[in-house]
Amino acid sequence: MYLISGIIFLCTTLTVHHAAKILAVFPVCSKSHFTPGFILMKELAQRGHEITFINAFPQKEPIKNLRDISVEEVKTSLAGFLNNEKLTSLRKMNYWNVMEFVSTLGETYTEVVLRNQNVQNLLNSGEKFDLVIMEHFWNEALAIFAHRFNCPLVYFATGPVSIFNSHLIANPTYSSYIPNFLTTLGSQMNFLERLKNLFVNILCVTYAEFKSIPKQNALLKATFPDSPNLENIVYNASLMFVVSHISIHDPLPLQPSIKYIGGHHVGSLKPLPIKIKQFMENASEGVIVFSLGSILRSCDLTFQQKEVILNVFSKMKQKILWKYERDLDGLPRNVMISNWLPQQEVLAHPNTVAFIGHGGLLGVMESVYFGVPILGIPTYWDQYKNIEDVVRRGMAVKLNLHDLTEETFSNALNEILNNPKYRDNAKLRSKIMQDQPVKPLDEAVFWVEYVIRHKGAPHLKSAALHLTWYQKYLIDIVLFVGFLVITISFFILFIMKYIFFNSKVYVSDHEKNK
């Protein structure tokens, strides 16, 4: 007993002793970008660190050690991007235009953040920070915070390692077996798929290099004329957190400065609200959980789509719990709607038999964590890839929103519910995700403190960060060796010709002329 309280005492004093000042920058006004950062910041605050948190969802009730710097106006500035119509139109765009869309979105909110009065005040306050953690999402200019406060920088990717963030840490990007996530390719690719993957990767790198980074650089120079070039501050990060896990994503080579923390947001469960609890407990045939996330809302589905969905539901023996943001007439008796769902808690319920979701990474992570098969209805950006990944692992079925009919919808649902393979594979993936030496959130905290303890941990930085692309891929060496081989071959050929043939040829020509 004394030993335990002694250890607890020691732990608390140690935490307080190492309390650090951390600036977190998570300004995207979408819960799937905000929440992963917020969970980590809340935990760091609870462990005694002093957090300054730039975000668009400031707390209504203050949290100890956590100071919000609100950039709520990001919501207004991105309203033209983050709406159903725009996001579902991405499906019809080519890769270049998709990048144009997200990069313009990035440019828009980056500018709003840099020009925000409170942010400006902070930058000019002379405050000191031990670390800056920023979400990386088409916003490189925000790396200026770490430079201004002269402290280590940690990136936080609210998605897997990809062609869009690998370069920040100089992580290898082999087109032969690391699929680009704009495509829905898996890691086992045939010749044509590898060709396509290489092509899309080159397209993405070209876009970033010649369009996106210059835009961010211009933005930075416009706001802070005295700041160094973007390349000098962007490639100086100590670490990159990635919301990814081997239970979902394919194995990749990873630099030691990349840390997978997928599942860190899955936490201690709260009791279910009484109405939902009763509904779920009385479902002897099981419950299907249905949510399309916070951006594409179920109430924005077309009239026909809703009719299809309700018709299919009314014929099911299972109960359906649907995150639906308005009132809905003519609900079948087995369907309950709610404008908010405690998603982790309902997915964790033993009566839950399937999850109908849009393929947002956090929802997919939760489904995998609790071993629930997925009917995925992806609509934009990384959702296709997220769903494709779980389909490949045999725990999901994909249905495109534009293919939604009573027949396709009920077929997909029946497949998920009646073929035991989906449930078995979901359970298997769940075991893999839960089998970890340390909880992902604890691991994230450890690495944050590690970077602070080791003054930016420069020993983690790869030498590849100092190479140009042609040096990294040995193009200069290949060209040089190629040149050498060709030159030497010609030289040898020339000499051989001179020794063995030249005189004969001369002689024969000579004879001919005679």
Ligand X SMILES: *[C@@H]1O[C@H](CO)[C@@H](O)[C@H](O)[C@H]1NC(C)=O
Residues near ligand X, by CB under 6 A? 147, 150, 152, 232-233, 236, 238, 456
Number of other residues whose CB lies within 10 A of the CB of residue 498: 10
Q: How many Å apart are CA 242 and CA 157, to the nearest integer? A: 5
Question: By C-alpha distance, which of 298, 331, 302, 301 is closest to 314?
Answer: 331
> Which residue, 83 or 232, is less far from ligand X as judged by CB?
232
Q: How far is the CB of 476 from ligand X (least distance, A)?
A: 26
Question: 3-class DSSP state for residue 372?
Answer: coil
> Which residue, 117 or 150, is less far from ligand X as judged by CB?
150
- Compute the radius of gyration of the chain from its Cα atoms: 28
Closest residue to ligand X using C-beta atoms: 456
Q: How far is the CB of 297 from ligand X (least distance, A)?
A: 41
> Which residue, 228 or 253, is less far from ligand X as judged by CB?
228
Q: How far is the CB of 138 from ligand X (least distance, A)?
A: 20
Q: DSSP class of residue 180?
A: -
Q: Which residue type, as a one-letter code, is found at position 389?
A: D
Q: How far is the CB of 127 from ligand X (least distance, A)?
A: 16
> Which residue, 270 or 459, is less far from ligand X as judged by CB?
459
- 290's enclosing H/E stretch is strand 287-291
Strands 319-323 and 287-291: parallel
Q: How far is the CB of 451 from ligand X (least distance, A)?
A: 8
Q: How far is the CB of 153 from ligand X (least distance, A)?
A: 6
Q: Which residue type, as a one-letter code, is found at position 248?
A: I
> Which residue, 147 or 167, is less far from ligand X as judged by CB?
147
Range list of H helices, 83-135: 84-89, 95-115, 117-123
Q: How far is the CB of 126 from ligand X (least distance, A)?
A: 16
> Which residue, 231 or 407, is less far from ligand X as judged by CB?
231
480 Cβ neighbours under 8 A, 6+ residues apart: none
Please say whether the beta carbons of 346 and 289 come within 8 A: yes
Q: How far is the CB of 155 from ligand X (least distance, A)?
A: 13
Please say whether the beta carbons of 44 and 133 come within 8 A: no
> Which residue, 154 or 296, is less far from ligand X as judged by CB?
154
Q: Whose structure tokens read 């983690």?
A: 460
Question: 3-class DSSP state for residue 351?
Answer: coil
> Which residue, 217 or 400, is less far from ligand X as judged by CB?
217
Q: How many Å apart are CA 75 and CA 55, to the nearest integer? A: 11
Q: How far is the CB of 291 from ligand X (least distance, A)?
A: 40
> Which residue, 233 or 347, is less far from ligand X as judged by CB?
233
Q: How many residues in the chain?
A: 514
Please say whether the beta carbons of 52 and 71 come within 8 A: no
Q: DSSP class of residue 89?
A: H
